[in-house]
Amino acid sequence: YRCINRLDRDTTGALILAKNPYSAAVLSAQMKQRQIRRTYLAIVQGIAPEQGTIDAPIGRAADSTIERQVDFANGESAVTHYERLAVRNDHSLLEIHLETGRTHQIRVHMGYIGHPLPADYLYCPVYDHFKRQPLHSYQLNFRHPLTGKDLCFTAPTPHDMTRGF
């Protein structure tokens, strides 16, 4: 098996696994050509704007192999689209679509616009509502590597996110 998309630690939800080398090559090409649509649900601190696009490059933070940051001088292109679905308890539920797939992209971009994910051990270690970052890979849309049929898979939202919001 080959993992086609990855999820950050503590992120729940759907993944694409290829069962053979041919499927892995086709699905990897779809990912590289941005033909796989990834939809995430995230709960962020504060009242986020109704919708927006964050176009800010991401690179490694100085002296860290793990932490990332917005870096206009040396970062790689990163684009995140979001829409606010609901507001409750000074938190916003967002639907997020990634145009690119940088490490920690959602976590970094949401913090960059002033709406970090709570309980994010690296970027916002505030654990008063959640025990882990409330980030969920909700839906994946892509073409089957052999039949070309359009597929859509969803993963149920975990209880800790629904209870905490």
Tell me which residues are annotated as active site: 8
How do beta strands 12-13 and 135-143 pair?
parallel
Q: What are the angstrom distances between the C-alpha of 51 and each of 5, 48, 100, 133, 140?
A: 25, 8, 18, 21, 21
Joined tokens for residue 30: 């779809």
Q: Is 138 left (phi over 0), alpha (psi -120 to 50) or beta?
A: alpha
